[in-house]
Amino acid sequence: MTYTFPKDFLWGGATAANQFEGAYNVDGKGLSVQDVTPRGGVPAKAGDHNPLITDEPTPDNLKLEGIDFYNRYKEDIALFAEMGFKVFRMSIAWSRIFPNGDETEPNEAGLAFYDKVFDELAKYGIEPLVTLSHYETPLYLARHYNGWANRDLIRFYENYVRTVFTRYKDKVKYWLTFNEVNSVLHAPFMSGGIATPYEDLSKQDLYQAVHHELVASALATKIGHEINPDFKIGCMVLAMPAYGMTSNPLDQLAAREFENQNYLFSDIHVRGKYPNYIKRYFRDNGIEIQFADGDEEMLKNTVDFISFSYYMSVAQAHNPEDYAVGKGNIMGGISNPYLESSEWGWQIDPVGLRLVLNDFYDRYQLPLFIVENGLGAKDVLVDGPDGPTVEDDYRIDYLQKHLVQVGEALQDGVELMGYTTWGPIDLVSASTAELSKRYGFIYVDRNDDGTGTLARYKKKSFNWYKEVIATDGASLYK
């Protein structure tokens, strides 16, 4: 059965500054936590290998040069426009605007760069969707304040978001406060700039850091709406549905408890207060969140929409030690025998996306936005009739199956603003810092050893996605 997506559906792609801009030390930019990431990535729970052993940019770090979007943004945006993008998700590198993070005055050259990018997008009628903080806390804030573990980060973030909201108030309408805000529990350095090694962080420290981010997110939402009441400001969570491994009620309970650790974040962003289940968890674990005066009121500044990334689901059991552990997933979980996995062990589950959409919508009755989805895979460049290309049928297959499930959810009645695939142009992986884990419709000639010309080539999926957009999704059913 064919289904046509709504005419105003926002089709596009998603990126993050630290994974594709490059130019890490140009025009006054300061270092971010990503600039000290060694090639091969930082173990999510950076403990025995805390990257803050050095203050220097690691020389073999592919993120330093990225794919040079900083200098090639015109060429890249033209390619996005050729695919018919209606929206482009990108982040602002905080350390381009405030190099250390705690200055009072912004860096004009950094602000000017994003003006140029937004103007270029506007030329093609592409809406920017801007993440304010995407795994790129200024390194100075990690070093000198211990990142979001410190309440001072709220006022530095406030100054930063006030600056960019004011500067771009007529150029950007859609904003996300923190990328995958729930990941700070699992990757505190990458996600929250928290320098303390994971094994030395107590649950108390982690949830207090979470509280700081949640208050900052609510504050950003408040400020944004004051600066421009037309702004649409959303939270962004890493969505990962969990199945009970068996119909044993204890397995179902394990799945529910796992999901609650993620719902916590969207619940607070949407309902404006801590849910009861987490109060119990805090009691059971001796956690006491320190609320400052005004925090409770501040959390009531709730979001306009809920956005999320979706790559995979997990299974949970009350006795996980009896099963094989899922690979490549920062949130843990066990392998689901009904699902296949990507080369990096991420379990592929299109139906899980329909479930997530329905669960979120039933729970909140607010518009949703899928702002990341895609397949990281090794591509092989071959000669095609129009030059080098990649026959990436595996990627088309992954996206097609997920989008069909998105169509099902729309027919279920879910309100969905749009869909942006992760990495529409190849970029550096967040978790492994490789380039060979590619997601793009556009191939970038850069290799894991840093060699390559940075030339761009269209993959087979480029024309496939172009047709999906041009037909409002109808071509998915061919």
The residues annotated as belonging to the active site are 372
Nearest approach in angstroms of CB 68 to ligand BG6 is: 17
Q: Is 210 an interacting residue with respect to ligand BG6 (CB under 6 A)?
A: no
Q: Choose the binding region for ligand BG6 from 22-30, 429-437, 455-463, 470-478 (rule: CB under 6 A).
A: 429-437
Q: How far is the CB of 407 from ligand BG6 (least distance, A)?
A: 23
For ligand BG6, the closer CB: 5 or 265: 265
CA quadruple 205, 211, 216, 219: dihedral, nearest 10: -160
Q: Considering the rule CB under 6 A, would residue 437 count as an interface residue with ligand BG6?
A: yes
Out of 21, 120, 136, 180, the only residue in the binding site for ligand BG6 (CB under 6 A) is 180
91 contacts ligand BG6 (rule: CB under 6 A):
no
Measure CA 333 to chain center: 20
The least distance separating ligand BG6 from the CB of residue 412, rounded to whole angstroms, comes to 25
Give the total of residues touching ligand BG6 (CB under 6 A): 15
Residues 398-427 that bind ligand BG6 (CB under 6 A): 422
Whether 367 contacts 305, CB under 8 Å = yes
Residues 357-376 that bind ligand BG6 (CB under 6 A): 372, 376
DSSP string, 183-248: GGGT-HHHHH---S-GGG--HHHHHHHHHHHHHHHHHHHHHHHHH-TT-EEEEEEEE--EEESSS-
The answer to the question of residue 342 lying near ligand BG6 (CB under 6 A) is no
**Terminal Cα distance for the chain, rounded:** 10
- Residue 137 as a binder of ligand BG6 (CB under 6 A): the answer is no
Query: For tokens 């490059």, what's the residue?
Result: 22
Query: Can you read off the two tokens belonging to residue 217?
Result: 């997110």
Stretch that binds ligand BG6, among 149-157, 197-205, 430-438, 454-462 (CB under 6 A): 430-438
Query: Closest approach of Cβ 433 to ligand BG6, in Å?
Result: 8
**Residue closer to ligand BG6 (CB basis): 309 or 313:** 309
Q: Specify the DSSP class assigned to residue 326.
A: P
354 vs 437 by CB, closer to ligand BG6: 437
The interaxial angle of helices 108-123 and 69-83, nearest 10 deg, is: 20
- Give the integer Cα–Cα distance in Å for 112 and 404: 40
CB 374 within 8 A of CB 380: no
Residue nearest to ligand BG6 (CB): 431
Site string for ligand BG6, 289-328 (x = CB under 6 A): --------------------x-------------------
Question: Running DSSP on this structure, what letter comes out for residue 35?
Answer: G
> Could you give the CA distance from residue 44 to residue 406 in angstroms, rounded to a whole number?
30
Residue with tokens 């009121």, as numbered in its chain:
297
Least separation in angstroms between residue 422's CB and ligand BG6 is 5
Q: Checking DSSP bridges between strand 174-176 and strand 242-244, what pairing results, if any?
A: unpaired
Binding site for ligand BG6 (CB under 6 A): 16, 19, 135, 179-180, 238, 309, 372, 376, 422, 429-432, 437
